[in-house]
Amino acid sequence: MFKVVAVFFMLLVASHGLFNKAGSYQERPDLIEDKSVLLLTHFAAGYLHTSQNLLLQDYRVIRVQTQLVNGMNYKIDFVAKPVNDISGEKTTCQVVIHVSFQSVKSILQTQCQTS
């Protein structure tokens, strides 16, 4: 009986580690240079241009996280250069883009800072 309880306890502990990550963002360094992520970044930059009048160029993705929720959320951190900016400053942005199972894209969150 003790062995059964010990095995059950080990399974419980092991499964807790798996379920703890369900719904959380997962780091995806393998997607930093992925073409689909670059296209999503371009989509977000177009949104920033129309919604915040922020026109960016020369995007470089520096971090990607994904979350599976009724489709996929992509949290993308990137740096870019503002167009017509002679100061040489860079803009760092974090965007969250939801891609539904039907491939419909929508911007959930944007945050940019120029330094």
8 Å CB contact between 101 and 70: yes
> Is residue 80 a part of any domain in this protein?
yes
Give the count of domains, the chain. 1
pTM above 0.75, yes or no: yes
Residue 46: count of CB within 10 angstroms of its CB: 13
> Is residue 16 a part of any domain in this protein?
no
> Is residue 5 a part of any domain in this protein?
no
> Is residue 4 a part of any domain in this protein?
no
- The string of pLDDT tens digits covering residues 100-110 is 999 999 999 99
| Band of residue 111 on the pLDDT scale cut at 50, 70, 90 | very high
State the residue range of the domain holding 72: 26-114
| Band of residue 4 on the pLDDT scale cut at 50, 70, 90 | very low
C-alpha–C-alpha distance, residues 83 and 55, integer Å: 6
- The string of pLDDT tens digits covering residues 6-59 is 434 444 334 444 444 557 999 999 999 999 999 999 999 999 999 998 899 899
